[in-house]
Amino acid sequence: MKTLDAFIIEKQAEYPNAKGALSGILSSIRLVAKVIHRDINRAGLTNDILGYAGNQNVQGESQMKLDIIANDTFKHALMAREDVAGFASEEEDEFIIFDTERGRNARYIILTDPLDGSSNIDVNVSVGTIFSIYRRVSPLGSPVTLEDFMQPGNKQVASGYVVYGSSTMLVYTTGNGVNGFTYDPTLGEFCLSHENFQMPHNGKIYSINEGQYLKFPMGVKKYIKYCQEEDAATQRPYASRYIGSLVSDFHRNMLKGGIYIYPSATTYPNGKLRLLYEGNPMAFLAEQAGGLASDGYRRILDIQPTELHQRVPLFIGSKDMVEKAQEFMTEYKDA
């Protein structure tokens, strides 16, 4: 049984210029995942980590206690590494500069949604962690700048997620396919369980919050009706499955085939998900597994960010299903 550490070392040869830095960062993320796994699994035993923290993040969303715990765990683990120059999180107002000699000479920056779907914690529903790794573009020897974080998703060197469910699994890509590792608590190790993930090109599941139907663009409404229509040739109607945690919905669709949609709406004209912390890392994974990710009209990975907490509509999943959804979006663009 191959552990994550062994797999990372084996694959390090694919990055001769990285000098082990990327491998070290992935090992730190593995440690963060184990700590968050521990905290989540004892959430029902202590009130100290359950419920709302009583404050809001920069997007105006109420933070859960575990949001803050997960964010601090991530930040402190990365600060301890000499390979990371800076850190940006959905839970932080601004990016964090690791302004030490090591940080100023580090080559990588990390972006993360430390606890995706955290509102589900109190009811014991699956949640996740999302991360994204870029090479900095500012000169070595100086502190990182906003420019380092404003890179399009096609510049990512690695991304991944951890899903905390019936088992805890870490899934990541470095641009050479997608691999998944399941946590074995008896060993305290993540072990390779899903080598070279391939998302089915089609599926029978669509994931969207249909309670917001009246607020959606016409193209989304038409696509939902398409999913619900009976058609033997395309094996419709599709099943509606929506957990409310991007990681959990995406992970299921990665395995079984399907599409996840969080579109724009009258209440969220630019969408609700964040481009840098959710859209880009999940889009990189989707494409590496043979799927697609779009804002309804264009490739997510080609969008040039303009804000640290920029929102984006997201259509992600099986290639054929995303392409069909885009057809409806284009046809009814002006409706």
> Are 329 and 216 spatial neighbours (Cβ–Cβ below 8 Å)?
no
242 is in an annotated binding site: yes
List all residues 6 or more positions away from 100 whose beta carbon is below 8 Å from its beta carbon. Answer: none
118 is in an annotated binding site: yes
Q: Which two tokens stand for residue 110?
A: 């990390």
318 is in an annotated binding site: no
HSE-up of 189 (CA within 13 Å, CB side)?
Answer: 11
For helices 21-41 and 65-79, give the axis angle rounded to 10 degrees. 150
Q: Which two tokens stand for residue 95?
A: 């990016």
113 is in an annotated binding site: yes
119 is in an annotated binding site: yes
List all residues 6 or more positions away from 279 whose beta carbon is below 8 Å from its beta carbon. Answer: 153, 273, 293, 295, 300, 303, 312, 314
Q: Which of 96, 73, 70 is nearest to 84 (CA)?
A: 96
167 is in an annotated binding site: no
> Are 108 and 81 spatial neighbours (Cβ–Cβ below 8 Å)?
no
If you compute the radius of gyration of the chain from its CA atoms, what whole number of angstroms results?
A: 19
117 is in an annotated binding site: yes
- 311-334: string of b/e by CB count within 10 Å (b at 16+)? bbbbbbbbbbbbebbbebbeeeee
189 is in an annotated binding site: no
Residue ranges of the binding site: 90, 113, 115-119, 209, 242, 272, 278
Residues comprising the binding site for substrate? 116-119, 209, 242, 272
Residue set of the binding site for Mg(2+): 90, 113, 115-116, 278
